[in-house]
Amino acid sequence: MPKELKKTDMTLIVGLMGTNPGDNSKWRFDADGKAAILNQNAAPAEGIKFAIDQSADPKTFDWITTWGEWYGVYECRMTS
């Protein structure tokens, strides 16, 4: 696979993610490090920033919102 077509963890996370069964919300991740929580019954929660470091061991994930900050680790699994 050519280097320019190789998927990084960031390219794999960009887009809409899952559905929370509790409130039917979805998470949107943008390539510029911005995110939003989209809820059917309320205005989107925007102004969220995230960052990943796939070179760290373990890989790190930062989630920064107006209501708090969370720092953790993640595992990226590719599905077919």
Residue 12 lies in a domain: yes
Q: What is the pLDDT of residue 55?
A: 93
Note the pLDDT tens digit of each residue in 13-67: 899 888 777 778 899 999 999 999 998 888 889 999 999 999 999 999 999 999 9
Q: Three-state SS string across the chain, please?
A: CCHHHCCCHHHHHCEEECCCCCCCCEEEECCCCEEEEECCCCCCEEEEEEEEECCCCCCEEEEEECCEEEEEECCCCCCC
pLDDT at residue number 80:
54
**Number of domains forming the structure of the chain:** 1
* 79 in a structural domain: no
Residue 78 lies in a domain: no
Higher pLDDT, 11 or 64: 64
Give residue 56's domain range.
3-73
Look at residue 20 and tell me if it is in a domain: yes
Residue 80 belongs to a domain: no
